[in-house]
């Protein structure tokens, strides 16, 4: 996801994240509908007409308490939109680690909403994990890049400054034009580049984590409690139908309406963006199976493994340099790095494989 946000796009603009959230729901709706139809057909006689089959699926989706799925649909849509804000402004590993705070919120909501009992060992694990999250985010706070930096930490900063990226390779033709004014003369410093706002990223990931906890537990409550339950795929069709509507109004119209009208729905799309969309959709469907067969807490512990995976992928994809706190150590920095990108190195733990001269 992060790579899809920073790689060069073919158009004038990076892709609009709300379109990715919308397409993600469309993919999930299509797959869940196929699975629901297949499942229903297995429960009917082989010579049942297709119209009867479709009618039965339609009744299961729109009958009963299907409207209740509108609530988790709103939560998941907000979470997915915020996730893109966060991943556009933080590096992949930092996003993953901070996002794990959802483990704590999920546990709290599981205890209060689902009345689950958590043993001492489990609470202890949650606390250890939370401490781990604090340690990894520590360098940025201690060096003042996020909380007390007196320079430009609260202003958007460029990806170009975060390491040694080649502007030709990493700068989509969007956002600000780089220029500097000295003694009244404005000098063009090269192509425009995307910016990363660390504070916006941190706020977005923390809110997304909180929303993830409450929404996941509410979804679990819906599919596990109550007298007669439709199948998971019917529930997922209901969820995606409402999510599509929410993604359309919250994302496509409200968040990105002006830009999409100007540049078009598929502006900036390439195979990397499509890969991110499909991975998100498949990941969401797998998450729903885990919530059904285990629970949200188990799902969260399992996804913690993805911290390790995204770290490894970041090493290859972004030349991420690993130290005990994830920040690059001074001796691994390029001699061409400036004071400001040193701060950003600490904030983002970032470097790129391709270096500019
Ligand atoms: O980060 P978290 O584990 O809470 O993310 C869960 C993801 O799974 C969300 O992106 C949500 O849209 C997706 N999901 C889904 N279908 C479900 C439940 C969750 O696609 N039934």
Task: Say if strands 185-188 and 195-196 run parallel, antiparallel, or are unpaired.
Answer: unpaired
Mutate to test the pocket of ligand 1, among 80, 287, 296 (most ligand atoms within 8 A of CB): 287
User: Looking at residue 157, what is its pLDDT?
Assistant: 37
Percent of the chain with pLDDT over 90: 48
Nearest CA to ligand 1 atom 6: 284
Q: 24-67 pLDDT, tens per residue?
A: 999 999 999 999 999 999 989 888 899 999 999 999 999 888 99
pLDDT tens digit sequence for 273-295? 999 999 999 999 999 999 999 99
> Is the separation of the CB atoms in 4 and 272 below 8 Å?
yes
For ligand 1, pick from 1, 212, 244, 284 the residue to mutate: most ligand atoms within 8 Å of CB.
284
Contacts of 335 (CB under 8 A, 6+ apart): none
What pTM, to 2 d.p., does this model score?
0.75
Ligand 1 atom closest to 223 (CA): 21
State the alpha helices, DSSP H only, in the chain. Answer: 2-6, 17-43, 50-62, 70-89, 92-99, 102-113, 120-142, 167-170, 198-224, 232-246, 257-263, 271-293, 296-318, 339-348
The CB of 212 under 6 Å from ligand 1? The reply is yes
Ligand 1 close to Cβ of residue 236 (< 6 A): yes
Question: In the prediction, which pLDDT does 171 show?
Answer: 37
Q: How far is the CA of 280 from the centre of ligand 1 (A)?
A: 9
- CB 164 near ligand 1, within 6 Å: no
């Amino acid at each position: 996801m992060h790579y899809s946000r920073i790689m060069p796009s073919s158009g004038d603009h990076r892709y609009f994240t709300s379109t990715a959230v919308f397409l993600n729901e469309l993919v999930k709706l299509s797959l869940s509908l196929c699975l629901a139809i297949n499942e229903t057909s297995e429960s009917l006689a082989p010579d049942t007409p297709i119209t009867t089959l479709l009618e039965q699926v339609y009744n299961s989706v729109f009958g009963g308490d299907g409207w209740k799925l509108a609530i988790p649909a709103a939560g998941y849509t907000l979470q997915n939109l915020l996730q893109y804000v966060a991943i556009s402004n933080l590096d992949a590993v930092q996003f993953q680690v901070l996002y794990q705070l959802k483990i704590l919120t999920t546990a709290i909501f599981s205890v209060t909403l689902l009345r689950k009992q958590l043993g001492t060992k489990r609470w202890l694990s949650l606390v250890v994990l939370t401490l781990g999250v604090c340690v990894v985010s520590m360098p940025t706070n201690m060096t003042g890049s996020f909380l007390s930096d007196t320079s430009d930490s609260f202003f958007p900063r460029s990806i170009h400054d975060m390491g040694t990226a080649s502007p030709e390779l990493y700068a989509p033709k969007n956002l600000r034009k780089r220029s500097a004014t000295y003694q009244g003369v404005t000098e063009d410093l090269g192509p425009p580049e995307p910016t990363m706002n660390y504070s916006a990223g941190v706020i977005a990931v923390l809110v997304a984590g909180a929303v993830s906890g409450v929404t996941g537990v509410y979804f679990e409550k819906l599919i596990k409690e109550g007298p007669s339950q439709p199948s998971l795929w019917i529930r997922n069709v209901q969820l995606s139908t409402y999510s599509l509507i929410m993604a359309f109004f919250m994302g496509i119209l409200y968040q990105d309406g002006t830009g999409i009208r100007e540049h078009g729905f598929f502006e900036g799309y390439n195979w990397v963006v499509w890969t991110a969309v499909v991975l998100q959709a498949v990941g969401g469907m797998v998450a729903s199976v885990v919530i059904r067969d285990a629970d949200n807490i188990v799902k969260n512990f399992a996804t913690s493994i993805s911290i390790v995976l995204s770290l490894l992928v970041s090493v290859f994809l972004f030349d991420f340099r690993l130290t005990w706190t994830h920040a690059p150590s001074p001796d691994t920095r390029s001699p061409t790095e400036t004071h400001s990108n040193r701060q950003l190195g600490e904030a983002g733990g970032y470097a790129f494989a391709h270096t500019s001269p």
